[in-house]
Structure 1
Amino acid sequence: MAELSSAHPQWQLAANECDEFSHWMSGAGWASGTGDPNYEESREIDITLRKRRELMQWLTKQQPERGPFYENTWRDVCTKHPLNCLFALADLAGQGNWLSSRWSDALYAWGNGKQVQRIWRSAAPVLQTMPDKVIQKIAHSVTWWLKAVSKSIDRHEGILLHLCRRVLAVPLESGTGMTRNGEPIDQPVTEAINHPVGHVTQALINLWFKQNPNDNDRLPADIRPFFTELCDVQVDRFRHGRVLLGSRLIAFFRVDPPWTEQYLLPLFSWSNPAEAKSVWEGFLWSPRLYQPLLTAFRAQFLESANHYTDLGEHRQQFAAFLTYAALGPTEGYTVDEFRSAIGALPQDGLEESAQALSQAFEGAADQREDYWKNRVQPFWQQVWPKSRELATPRIAESLTQLTIAARGEFPAALAAVKDWLQPLEHPHYVVDMLHESDLCSRYPADALRLLDAVIADQQWAPRELGQCLDEIGQVAPQLVQDARYMRLQEYSRRRGSQ
């Protein structure tokens, strides 16, 4: 052993004793920043130089094969010394040497800093000369950079528009490659905001909004052709742009109604389900009620109730939006139309509608009594489906909250929805609401009726149930002998709420 050790001094045991085991699994592949000694020993860090000439030499030297532990500081240097990096890249580009991966890293780094406008002034003329094949190869970073600078630039807007035009012209893949368990995610909004065409569309919208457009100003002559082109359903990859155009539908309609009615609104028709799904999800990303628009796309809006499940992750927003519209006042729509639309919603759509109804009522604050008489009660009587077979615990919980929120109209609200109420799996929140509302003292008989409807024999009694019963008993002593009161009181004692 001594002779071998002397003859081969380079043979050293690992400090972490991994040589003592026949099999050793290290966290080196994922343990950056954890202090794993294997990771720290395995790292290969290529230090990027900072001066312009040195950067050119570093950029053009033979790059080592990037193993799992290879790192370099290029992106950090781009952040700290952006202009030196830009000029080094520009010098090499002038020699016909476009280093696509280096440009890509640099553009991502420059989009996050505070010097976006300053870098753009110098970078724009260089980017304008970037070959189409390079743009196509690093389209995501180029367009991400365009989106970032479009918010604040004060010059070279023509170059930005020229680059947008070139990106839209290159044959990009329409898919984003985003999957879940190996399957496409089928989320138009998420895909749109991560696709180069979506980046370009957002950059154009940012550029347009920087002009502070007003109603009926019409779209700018230099930007309008882009939006028109994106509305061409024959180009599949432009669908990502159409999603984002849909998300700004109200702005387009207010600024340029004729263009919107000619190009954008037809996309909301379900005659082309794939297109309608995309633009509707874009609009429902952050929907708002705007009466002139509701009138303009009335047919498409009402038809969407029959395509509820097609609206993907934004179907809940549609149910809420439809409910708010039905609460009105909404011109150009009939009660029958809203009743048919709400009635076309599947079970989970009705649950979302009931929740939106409750939230709208609670949002009325001091005007709740008037809101009940003028909005909620007419909606409930004339629009909401009448089949009690549609009742579910979730609908019951929303309607219970609505009833408590009615305050002075509590008895009327309870009488209207009582047949839809049923025991709740977790009644603690609504019982707490009832206790805090002081309705037990104001309307003891109705409060008892509500408690009897939502509480059966759940495993845990709400803490405030005993307090509610005490208030009811103090205000209306005769109710203490009511069978419902005695059942609830016995349940409260047995389940330990007091």
Structure 2
Amino acid sequence: MVATLEFDNDLGWVVYDHIVAGILSGGADTVKSGLGEVRQGGQVTQRSRRTLDHAINGPIGMCAEALFHAVSKEEKEAGSLIPDHIKLRIERLFSAPGEGSDHAVSIVSRRLNWLMFVDPVWTEGRLIPMLEFDHPASEPAWNGFLHCGQVPWPPLAAIIKPLLLRLFPWVEGFSWSQEFSNIAAQWLGFMRVFHPNEQSGLSQVEMRSVLRAMSDETRNRFIFWLGLVGKENENGWAEHVTPLINEDWPRERRYRTAASMRSWIGLLVHTGDSFPIVYEAMNKFVVPVETNDYPFYRFTGEIRDEKPITVLFPETTLGLMNRATPQVLTRPSYELPKVLALIAETEPNLTLDR
């Protein structure tokens, strides 16, 4: 597309329009995506066809993608506006038959951040309404948007914040992969952690409400994301992670499950010197569960010449093991004897703690 336009701009657009007209004239069968069935373990997995993955493998999706490649570098600056002849062609693709219109919507929605940057009036008037949950194109619009790879740009986030706050459990109702629910949760977490109480951010009450609305699986994957925030930001554990746990995490008993325990302990093993302060914040969510499934190996083994967590923080580790272990065990615990032995070896006085 780009090479053709550089060779002869007028001819390039004539050829493009001719190709689109030919595809559209073929009806719903012609615009179908070339992406076939998804199989896992030899079994067909039912997945929605209203997704970006289908769009990039369909002719209308390819035609929509070509339009963005045709936008010149000069037209990619803030407020520069998308040329009218591009917007008219995008609108034409939105009216494609069958799943073709979904493909066009997904391709365009993936660029919502950028489109809001270069052409805010058109984006707010024509594209953002498709994110409304009752809009016929809301599923492909959100699927494309969640594919963008970046959190919503603050001016865009401020506009769509009412939708973001209601995104759960709505977004979990589609036959997509779990990845997209995780991305949505991370967006909301980012807005709370890095833009607290701002127009484009979340308040304590809003974050807690969002966490309650998530599925257990999504909430536990969010704990993993908190671990990344703690590790990848200077003083991240103290400034970002522990405040969210202390202030925002829902306290109800039903959110303390065996799966959440696995996630919390998985978070703890990566906290380094911040282990005590993170444990102090999250210990209220630790409940006794009988399992050998938790990653306690990090508490007794050296990894990359780092001392075991138990050696570094024997008293905190004892507190964790006490909260996480049922008073009566019906089967032998694999890691517990090792951890207790190492505590006794490291800090013998703790053996007097009943």
Q: TM-score, normalised by structure 2?
A: 0.79
Q: Check the 8 A contact 2:262/2:294 in 1, yes or no.
A: no
Counterpart secondary structure, 1:208: coil
- Is the aligned partner of 1:476 residue 2:347? yes
d(CA) in 2 for partners of 1:380, 1:242 = 37
Query: What are structure 1's unaligned runs of at least 5 residues?
Result: 1-145, 484-498
Residue matched to 1:292: 155
Residue matched to 2:274: 409
Per-residue deviation, 1:206: 1.7
Residue matched to 2:58: 195
Per-residue deviation, 1:461: 3.9
Which digits, 9 at most, give the CA deviation of each residue in 1:431-454, with x for residues without a partner? Answer: 368863664344220022234555
Q: 1:337 aligns with which of 206, 216, 223?
A: 206
Q: 2:6 aligns with which of 154, 162, 166?
A: 154
d(CA) in 2 for partners of 1:151, 1:362 = 45
- Is the aligned partner of 1:350 residue 2:216? no
Q: Percent identity?
A: 19
Aligned AA (1:477): P
Residue matched to 2:295: 427
Per-residue deviation, 1:354: 1.8
- Is the aligned partner of 1:176 residue 2:33? yes
Per-residue deviation, 1:472: 3.6
Per-residue deviation, 1:281: 1.0
Inter-CA distance 386–189: structure 2 relative to 1 (3 Å threshold): same
| Bigger mean CA offset, 468-477 vs 192-201 | 468-477
Residue matched to 1:39: none
Inter-CA distance 455–166: structure 2 relative to 1 (3 Å threshold): farther
Inter-CA distance 482–159: structure 2 relative to 1 (3 Å threshold): farther
Inter-CA distance 184–480: structure 2 relative to 1 (3 Å threshold): closer
Q: Check the 8 A contact 1:308/1:349 in 2, yes or no.
A: no
d(CA) in 2 for partners of 1:155, 1:334 = 53
Q: Check the 8 A contact 1:351/1:395 in 2, yes or no.
A: yes
Inter-CA distance 217–416: structure 2 relative to 1 (3 Å threshold): same
Q: Check the 8 A contact 1:407/1:437 in 2, yes or no.
A: no
CA radius of gyration, larger in: 1
d(CA) in 2 for partners of 1:199, 1:437 = 53
d(CA) in 2 for partners of 1:259, 1:444 = 60
| Bigger mean CA offset, 193-202 vs 416-425 | 416-425
Superposition pairs for residues 261-272 of structure 1, below 5 Å? 261-272=124-135
Residue matched to 1:392: 257
d(CA) in 2 for partners of 1:433, 1:209 = 56
Query: What are structure 2's unaligned runs of at least 5 residues?
Result: none
Inter-CA distance 216–322: structure 2 relative to 1 (3 Å threshold): same
Per-residue deviation, 1:238: 1.7
Per-residue deviation, 1:350: 1.4
Per-residue deviation, 1:397: 2.4
d(CA) in 1 for partners of 2:132, 2:255 = 29
Q: Check the 8 A contact 1:305/1:341 in 2, yes or no.
A: yes
Residue matched to 1:322: 188
Q: 1:164 aligns with which of 16, 28, 31?
A: 16
Inter-CA distance 158–300: structure 2 relative to 1 (3 Å threshold): farther
Inter-CA distance 184–404: structure 2 relative to 1 (3 Å threshold): closer
| Bigger mean CA offset, 258-267 vs 284-293 | 284-293
Which digits, 9 at most, give the CA deviation of each residue in 1:181-237, with x for residues without a partner? Answer: 788741412211111000011111122265571222111343232234445599862
Superposition pairs for residues 97-246 of structure 1, below 5 Å? 146=1, 150=2, 154-169=6-21, 170-171=24-25, 172-173=27-28, 174-176=31-33, 178-180=36-38, 185-187=47-49, 188-208=51-71, 213-231=76-94, 237-246=100-109
Cα RMSD after superposing both structures: 3.3
Aligned AA (1:192): A
| Bigger mean CA offset, 172-181 vs 262-271 | 172-181
d(CA) in 2 for partners of 1:347, 1:308 = 14
Residue matched to 1:248: 111
Inter-CA distance 428–378: structure 2 relative to 1 (3 Å threshold): closer
Aligned AA (1:382): E
Q: Which has the higher contact order (CA 8 A, sep 6+)?
A: 2
d(CA) in 2 for partners of 1:236, 1:202 = 16
| Bigger mean CA offset, 242-251 vs 345-354 | 345-354
Q: TM-score, normalised by structure 1?
A: 0.58
d(CA) in 2 for partners of 1:459, 1:244 = 54
Counterpart secondary structure, 1:300: helix
Per-residue deviation, 1:474: 4.7
Q: 2:240 aligns with which of 375, 387, 394?
A: 375
Which digits, 9 at most, give the CA deviation of each residue in 1:275-317, with x for residues without a partner? Answer: 2111111111243122222112111222212303234222222
d(CA) in 1 for partners of 2:127, 2:215 = 28
| Bigger mean CA offset, 240-249 vs 304-313 | 304-313
d(CA) in 1 for partners of 2:33, 2:251 = 44
Which digits, 9 at most, give the CA deviation of each residue in 1:120-139, with x for residues without a partner? Answer: xxxxxxxxxxxxxxxxxxxx
Counterpart secondary structure, 2:310: helix
Residue matched to 2:137: 275
Inter-CA distance 348–183: structure 2 relative to 1 (3 Å threshold): closer
Aligned AA (2:18): R
